[in-house]
Amino acid sequence: MKKNLKYLVTLGLVAIMGATLLTGCGKKQDNKDGNTAGGKTKITFGIWDENQRPTMENLATAYEAKNNNVDVEIQLTPYKGGEYWTKLEASATGGTAPDVFWLNTLHAESYKDGGILLDLTDYITKSDLNLEENYPAALISMYKFDDKIYAIPKDFDTNALWYNKEIFDKAGVDYPTDDWTWDDFVATAQKLKDAGLDAGVYPLAAPLDFQTDYYPTVYANGGWILNADKTETGYEDPKTQEGIQVWIDLIKAGLSPDLATMTDTSADAMFEAGKLGMLLAGSYMTPQYMSNDGINKIINLVEFPEFNGVEPNIINGLGYAVYSGSKNKDAAVDFVLWLGSAEAMKIQGEGGAVISARNDAWQYFAATNPDLNLAAYTNHSDVAYPLPVCKSSAELYDLEANYLKWAYSGEKTLGEASKELKVEADAVLSKMNK
């Protein structure tokens, strides 16, 4: 274990942390074998989202009711600034990581290589979870390496087109529909513009956002970002560039704010301020939009407009992982397998914060806001493209933003920016694969 964790040090993932940061936040007194003083087996459960804490507590309570010899202790560490990952890596180094914890795709492979993650393959095979039948293949693939599974899919997010009914009504333009094409999307934006919108209001926004905007159209167009063996990027492929260029064209046509404007004020903030007619947004934005009294009564959503005859979307999500050094490994595995059950996924879905990963639990997210067309996020999600990731994804995303901003701002052509981007990005992959 310690030998493997040296791998994380070489990646710059493990930081030296103070003793207080490594201390669990529970109130019960533990003994050295991992049991609570009351004789129950304690499972520590690491999460990062305060909005989801109530639902995670409900899950813990439901599991404890079925397993009265187990006590689940939730340990919340904020995601902001990388604090969650820093603490997790440091506690794994010290052998005190949570028994069960949330995992995302950006860290999965590095944590697997670092020896932090327990291989769940045999446990899943012996269970009645039926992963392949009950979960989208794209979600399973995010935590599958060398035919071994290292996390149970927890939830997922996709993208949909939100719109402001008040802006459409004022312009006398029909609302978007689920069967829209990209041409419908652009044509309607032009109608809104031609109708004469109020000062500072735009038909839509085309931010420099890979997951929500240009990755879906790149893949729907037959382009690619990362090849299968993660040795090369596809930024110079004409099909990739076509999938990016359509967003730049929206800015050039004056249908979207320019990049400088969206850098000063995010597209999400503009939509919440009633300054955008339409905006592509991830499902994780739903709670925020619906908590905004300024817009929550005048917005709705539809599916991502069809692009090049293809349903374009990117799917991403979290997983439940088990710490390989857990002192209560069997109990932790049992808890994680239960978290993937229909019962647990229903509890999570009814919480309304995220879409549960199981196919039979998608409906519960939509039901939390019956006045909204939240099925726009789950329709066709079984054919959505998985977010392209590798151990150096964070660095690649930064490079994309740094180089593509020149194309979005018009200071360089997309071809010029992509050529320079590919050189830098492929060098990162080369270094990663040494």
Same-domain pairing of 87 and 231: no
Find the CATH number of the domain harbouring 77: 3.40.190.10
Q: How much is the pLDDT for 39?
A: 81
The rounded distance, in Å, linking the Cα atoms of 228 and 234 is 11
Same-domain pairing of 145 and 213: no
Same-domain pairing of 413 and 365: no
The rounded distance, in Å, linking the Cα atoms of 226 and 230 is 6
DSSP per-residue string spanning 194-250: HT-PPTT-EEE---S-IIIIIHHHHHHTT--SB-TTSS-B-TT-HHHHHHHHHHHHH
Same-domain pairing of 282 and 321: no
Residue range(s) defining the domain that contains residue 407: 159-314+386-432
Given a cut of 90, whether residue 35 has pLDDT beyond it is no
Residue 348 lies in a domain: yes
Same-domain pairing of 243 and 340: no
Given a cut of 80, whether residue 138 has pLDDT beyond it is yes
**Residue 361 per-residue DSSP state:** G
Residue 17 lies in a domain: no
Same-domain pairing of 303 and 414: yes
Same-domain pairing of 291 and 417: yes
Q: Please state whether the predicted TM-score (pTM) of the whole model is above 0.85.
A: yes
Residue 36 lies in a domain: yes
Same-domain pairing of 118 and 64: yes
Residue 6 lies in a domain: no
204 beta partners:
278
User: Which residue did the predictor score with more confidence, 165 or 24?
Assistant: 165
pLDDT tens profile 290-340: 999 999 999 999 999 999 999 999 999 999 999 999 999 999 999 999 999
Residue 103 lies in a domain: yes
Given a cut of 80, whether residue 2 has pLDDT beyond it is no
Same-domain pairing of 184 and 92: no
Same-domain pairing of 210 and 79: no
Number of domains forming the structure of the chain? 2
The rounded distance, in Å, linking the Cα atoms of 286 and 372 is 10
Residue 256 lies in a domain: yes
CB 93 within 8 A of CB 17: no
Residue 83 lies in a domain: yes
Same-domain pairing of 243 and 374: no
Average predicted confidence (pLDDT) for the chain? 92
Residue 3 lies in a domain: no
Same-domain pairing of 109 and 222: no
Identify the helix (H) or strand (E) that includes residue 318: strand 318-322
Q: How much is the pLDDT for 24?
A: 35
